[in-house]
């Protein structure tokens, strides 16, 4: 599998159109589930819509990775479903044109 990027203790791989990530966690942080990421065009608009439907987010949207070759960025924000599973919205933002 091609390595896409690493960020802190996260490692991301391309897996046939799906992104696989592996993270080292302590025993206290380990959970028996995986995070499901929803790719959206407009992170803030999608977040606002979910907040309007009663979803509470764990954080503010933040950039987690910048591709130095293209300047594009990946942004994320996290929330939980009714069973406590972590979910996230993700958006890819193109580099500004100059």
10 phi, psi to nearest 5 deg: -100, 140
User: Is 81 among the domain residues?
Assistant: yes
State residue 89's pLDDT score: 96
User: Is 89 among the domain residues?
Assistant: yes
- The model's confidence at residue 16, banded by pLDDT at 50, 70 and 90, is confident
User: Is 6 among the domain residues?
Assistant: no
Structural domain that includes position 47:
34-93
In the predicted model, what is the mean pLDDT of residues 37-47? 94
User: Is 56 among the domain residues?
Assistant: yes
Q: Domain containing 53 — which CATH number?
A: 3.10.180.10
> Which residue in 13, 18, 17, 11 sits closest to 3, CA to CA?
13
User: Is 7 among the domain residues?
Assistant: no
State residue 65's pLDDT score: 86
Q: How many domains does the chain have?
A: 1
User: Is 61 among the domain residues?
Assistant: yes
């Amino acid at each position: 599998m091609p390595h896409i990027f690493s960020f802190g203790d996260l490692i991301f791989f391309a897996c046939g159109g799906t992104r696989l990530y592996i993270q080292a966690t302590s025993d206290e942080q380990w959970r028996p589930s995986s995070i499901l990421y929803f790719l959206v065009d407009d992170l803030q608009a999608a977040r606002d819509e979910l907040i309007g439907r009663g979803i509470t987010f764990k954080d503010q949207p933040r950039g987690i990775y910048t591709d130095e070759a293209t300047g594009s960025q990946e942004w994320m924000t996290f929330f939980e479903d009714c069973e406590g599973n972590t979910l996230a919205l993700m958006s890819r933002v193109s580099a500004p044109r100059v």
